[in-house]
Amino acid sequence: MRYLIFGFMLLSVFSCSKDETSQCLQITYNKSFIASVGKQYCIDEKNYIVIDSVDNQLCPCFFDCIWEGEFILKMNVFADGKGYIYDLGTSSNTPDIQPFDDFKIGFVAISPNECGAFTQEKFKVELILKKD
């Protein structure tokens, strides 16, 4: 019985000793990457982004709309030593005023790109971090 308890304690120590930085996926400036909702993407030790959710604001299925709509990416961005809550629209018609100066986040593509897409885990977003 002592060996069984010791084994469980040993297992719990190893399962809790994972490096927290391993959960942060490294990305680089001026190169596009595919992001998923809820994952953390690190630029360096001080800057990272997380897509918290994707809001589907496309024209509803089977409706005729004047404007096709867009997806809104709800993001948590840590830049310039500060945390920001930031919304990025996927339409080129939407003004993009980014509150941070270290880099700019550019939208490239989203999948699935359809009116009935709402499942957060299925969204894959291609982004690029632009730095002069």
All structural domains of the chain with their residue ranges: 20-130
Q: Which residue has the higher pLDDT, 80 or 37?
A: 37
The reported pLDDT for the residue numbered 22 is: 54
The lowest-confidence range among 8-22, 38-52, 99-113 is 8-22
Distance CA 103, CA 98 (A): 9
Q: Is the pTM of this model over 0.85?
A: no
Q: How many CA atoms lie within 13 A of 123 on its CB side?
A: 28
Tokens of 69: 């709509």
With the C-alpha atoms ordered 50, 32, 123, 71, is the resulting torsion angle positive or negative?
A: positive
Q: Which residue has the higher pLDDT, 84 or 8?
A: 84
**Amino acid, res. 92:** S
Q: What are phi and psi of 42, to 5 degrees?
A: -100, 135
Indicate the pLDDT class of residue 71, thresholds 50, 70 and 90. Answer: very high
118: pLDDT strictly greater than 60: yes
Domain 20-130, CATH: 2.60.98
The reported pLDDT for the residue numbered 95 is: 81
Burial of 124 (0-12, 13-18, 19+ CB in 10 A): middle
Q: State mean pLDDT over 45-71.
A: 90
The reported pLDDT for the residue numbered 97 is: 83
